[in-house]
Amino acid sequence: MAITPAAGSPRSASVKDVAATAGVSLGTVSNVLNRPERVSRTTRERVERAMADLGFVRNESARSLRTGSTQSLAYVMLDAGNPFFTDVARGIELAAEAAGLSLFLCNSDGRSAREGAHLAHLQQQRVQGILITPVDPDDPQIDQLSERGTPVVIVDRTRAGSSFCSVAVDDVLGGRLAVEHLIDAGHKRVAYVGGPESIGQVRDRGEGARQAWTEAGLPPEDLITLSCEAPTVAAGRAAGERLVGLPARRRPTAAFCANDLIALGLLQQTISSGRTVPGDLAIVGYDDIEFAAAAAVPLTSVRQPRQDLGRRAAELLLDEVGDPAHQHEQVVFTPELVARASTLGRP
Amino acid sequence: MAITPAAGSPRSASVKDVAATAGVSLGTVSNVLNRPERVSRTTRERVERAMADLGFVRNESARSLRTGSTQSLAYVMLDAGNPFFTDVARGIELAAEAAGLSLFLCNSDGRSAREGAHLAHLQQQRVQGILITPVDPDDPQIDQLSERGTPVVIVDRTRAGSSFCSVAVDDVLGGRLAVEHLIDAGHKRVAYVGGPESIGQVRDRGEGARQAWTEAGLPPEDLITLSCEAPTVAAGRAAGERLVGLPARRRPTAAFCANDLIALGLLQQTISSGRTVPGDLAIVGYDDIEFAAAAAVPLTSVRQPRQDLGRRAAELLLDEVGDPAHQHEQVVFTPELVARASTLGRP
DNA sequence: AACCTCCGGTGAAACGATTTAGAATCTGGA
DNA sequence: TCCAGATTCTAAATCGTTTCACCGGAGGTT
């Protein structure tokens, strides 16, 4: 039965209260909680009974104050609305669960300020470690976290001098794969649709695109860049409208999008404005999220091992937390092009 | 510059250390942190300087132990991979941010055990309040949370006797809208594709479908139920295969899916197996997630005010936390059918 | 009988921040 | 010189849990 304390003071029971009702000392209650094997069965049951009767809930603040550590990890994600990141999160979760830790998801939504607020709060909470897909991987706040004792693993990005573990996919290579595929299909004018430039993934994929383009000996001005405000479906639609607005002789016959959300938006706008894919415009996306294959025209996309990315990142973090001899490691996965109708089909 | 403490003891600085280096008393440091207006500018700057030099990070455990409250909310979501819930989460986040609170996202992934673990942990952390889309809204653990002083708001579900605030959308009505739409289009054999039955939304939408069906005077056995293991794209594909396996005279001409993920999977399987939508099979989804409109055939779907749902839920929670005279409230939004090509187009 | 070893249990001292009462110091006017 | 007001100080208590040195008794060994 639920105990309703005198109205107005619903202060929850403490170990002291439990000790009193069970008729044992405070230390014994703590032993029941933390080293039950050291307590005789009869006493243990008496204490457990008292805890149930009083509705005792261990106070994690007090516990972690005393022990100096918590049982949680956090993943600060760049965009919780992007299925790519939720798949990464799932991989992290599996590893965290296996290690008996709780995982908190925080969404920075691409905003530095929000990311900063989350990080500060997590640091104050003394989480065991933080996984982050940063808005800007060179943000000094990330160094500061690590210097002050919170292990950090960078997800889906790498850093130059790296005093961090990181897990990433080769975005430059991904960009090359996409554009080489379009060049192979005979396209001579291609748009790279991505943005904002502040996002490293966007820059790297664009860089890969340019490399492939110039190495094929094509004139640089025929690879145009369409910058969008955010890597979202809405921004993809907007980019589609700008594309239509271009004079026909400048208009690209194919678009490589920095991610699948943009690609889906662009695809949607293209079709609903009466043009065809890939006839009027071939489209390549990036991430190969589950929805890419189910799109109006199944989307050619650059696949990343999303869940493995998360799992591996969490493993690195757990190793850093647990092993004093931990060595930082930069894992780089290789992306893979998945060709579908949006670049292959008949117009 | 970063302070690297003597190797092996990276214990972070406390208010006491800050006070010592700034040459002020402990109480003054506390005032700088909590009531900066009471401290003269020069002292305040001296203290802030000391904090920066020492790399002081306030210990949230100690703070919340002493004050008895934290600065965080949590949303325990049913499926972080479903864009519907991430949109709801975004609404919650906006409200939390406006109130200066941090929001932690936890994913139960449809599993009771995982949900329970998250709830227990959040309760021990003494979060200010919990928003939850529960696996089972009648789970006694939810009552227990609330009885022991953690306010809970139920999102996207309602409960009978309700001693909780809740925000939901009328799922029975949503089911009716979907099936009435199919009946209007002349369909005489319809499948309801959803699962598992343990999810209330799935049951309610199915119930609405049945109501519309029988009220139209159609024979109950012509509304068949295809139960799937989980409300996911993969399950939708699997359902598509089972549908094909039915004898032609039993095979439905339309399907109403419990959510858009299932619908997209079903759509994808239908098209890739060479049949047409809506010619061979009309499809109605539920949630109207952003990807629904961008699907192979734009998807007719039942729209819910996702973000408003989250925002309103968070507001109710904040009211419950802040206002001692708080009255529980059950908000029910009305869904709306958005008709697109998957039920309208030419075969 | 004296000694040792376990086992189960005790009680006080931390952990770090906040809060409070009451006293001390400083500033600039009257 | 003295006072009012602002600012800071000292010292101590408190939040709830964990930890650790210690203790009493049961049982075995010499």
Nearest by CB to A60, from B57, B59, B125: name it. B125
Whole-number Å distance between alpha carbons of A314 and A148: 20
Average pLDDT value for residue range B26-30 = 94
Furthest C-alpha separation in chain B: 88
How many Cβ atoms are within 10 Å of B156's Cβ, its own excluded? Answer: 27
Locate the chain B residue with the closest alpha carbon to A146: B2
Q: How much is the pLDDT for B345?
A: 67
Q: Do B296 and A291 touch (CB under 8 A)?
A: no
Q: What phi, psi does A265 have (nearest 5°)?
A: -65, -45
Question: A146 in contact with B at a CB cutoff of 8 Å?
Answer: no
CA distance A74 to A51: 30
Task: Give the residue among A56, A94, A59 at the shortest CA–CA distance from A75.
Answer: A94
Strand C bases near protein CB (under 7 Å) are: 7-21
Q: Is the CB of B67 under 7 A from strand D?
A: no
Distance CA B112, CA B139 (A): 9
Written as tens digits, the pLDDT of chain A (347 aa) is 333 333 344 568 999 999 999 999 999 999 999 999 999 999 999 999 999 999 999 999 999 999 999 999 999 999 999 999 999 999 999 999 999 999 999 999 999 999 999 999 999 999 999 999 999 999 999 999 999 999 999 999 998 777 899 999 999 999 999 999 999 999 999 999 998 998 899 999 999 999 999 999 999 999 999 999 999 999 999 999 999 999 988 999 999 999 999 999 999 999 989 899 999 999 999 999 999 988 989 999 999 999 999 999 999 999 999 888 999 999 999 999 999 999 996 54
Structure confidence at residue B115 (pLDDT): 96
pLDDT value for B161: 77
**Whole-number Å distance, CA B26 to C1' D12?**
13
pLDDT confidence of residue B128: 96
pLDDT tens digits, one per residue of B40-65: 999 999 999 999 999 999 999 999 99
How far does the CA of A45 sit from the C1' of C8, in Å?
Answer: 14
What are the φ and ψ backbone dihedral angles of A325, each rounded to 5 degrees? -95, 20
> Which residues of B are less than 8 Å from A87 in CB distance?
81
Contact B60/A at CB under 8 A: yes
Interface of A with B in 280-319 (CB under 8 A): 290-291, 293-298
A:B CB pairs within 8 Å: 155
B70 contacts B125 by C-beta, under 8 angstroms: yes
Alpha helices for B23-170 (secondary structure H): 26-34, 41-54, 60-67, 83-98, 112-124, 140-147
Cβ within 8 Å, pair A126-B83: no
The enclosing H or E element of B300 equals strand B300-303
Question: Nearest CA to CA, how far is B124 from chain A (Å)?
Answer: 5
Residue A62 contacts strand D, CB under 7 A: yes
A-chain residues within 8 Å CB-CB of B60?
Answer: 61, 121, 124-126
Query: What phi and psi, each to the nearest 5 degrees, are found at residue B194?
Result: -160, 170
| Unique residue bearing structure tokens 């649709």 | A193
Interatomic separation, CA of residue B67 and C1' of nucleotide C18, rounded (Å): 7
pLDDT: is B306 or B322 the higher one? B306
A87–chain B Cβ distance below 8 A for any pair: yes
A345: tokens are 């089909």
Question: Residue A319's pLDDT is what?
Answer: 95
For chain B, the residue count is 347
- Which nucleotide C1' is nearest A19 CA? C10
**With contacts defined as CB-CB under 8 Å, which chain B residues touch A118?**
102
Calculate the angstrom distance between C1' of C1 and CA of A31.
Answer: 36
Q: Is B260 on the interface with A (CB under 8 A)?
A: no
pLDDT higher than 90, residue B232: yes
Which residues are bridge partners to B153 per DSSP? B131, B165
Model confidence at B346, pLDDT cuts 50, 70, 90, reads low
Distances (CA, A) of B312 to B88, B91, B168: 10, 8, 10
pLDDT of amino acid B324: 85
H or E stretch covering B73: strand B72-77
Q: What is the pLDDT of residue A160?
A: 79
Domains of chain A: 15-58 (1.10.260), 70-169+306-334 (3.40.50.2300), 171-305+337-344 (3.40.50.2300)
pLDDT digits 0-9 by tens, B97-149: 999 999 999 999 999 999 999 999 999 999 999 999 999 999 999 999 999 99
* pLDDT tens digits along B243-287: 999 998 899 999 999 999 999 999 999 998 989 999 999 999 999
- Walk across the sheet containing B300-303 and list its strands: B223-227, B190-194, B254-257, B282-287, B300-303, B336-338
Instruction: Decide if A268 and B296 are in contact by the 8 Å CB cutoff.
Output: no
Closest among B74, B292, B306, B75 to B169, alpha carbons compared: B306
Q: What digits encode the pLDDT tens for the residues A175-221?
A: 999 999 999 999 999 999 998 998 899 999 999 999 999 999 999 99
DSSP B153-164: EEES---SS--S
Q: Do A267 and B294 make contact, defined as CB atoms within 8 angstroms?
A: yes
Q: Tell me B38's DSSP state.
A: G
CB contact under 8 A, B296 and A295: yes
A125 touches chain B (CB under 8 A): yes
- pLDDT above 80 for B8: no
Spacing of A60 CA from D26 C1' in Å:
38
Q: In chain A, which residues have their Cβ closer than 8 Å to the Cβ of B81?
A: 83, 86-87, 90
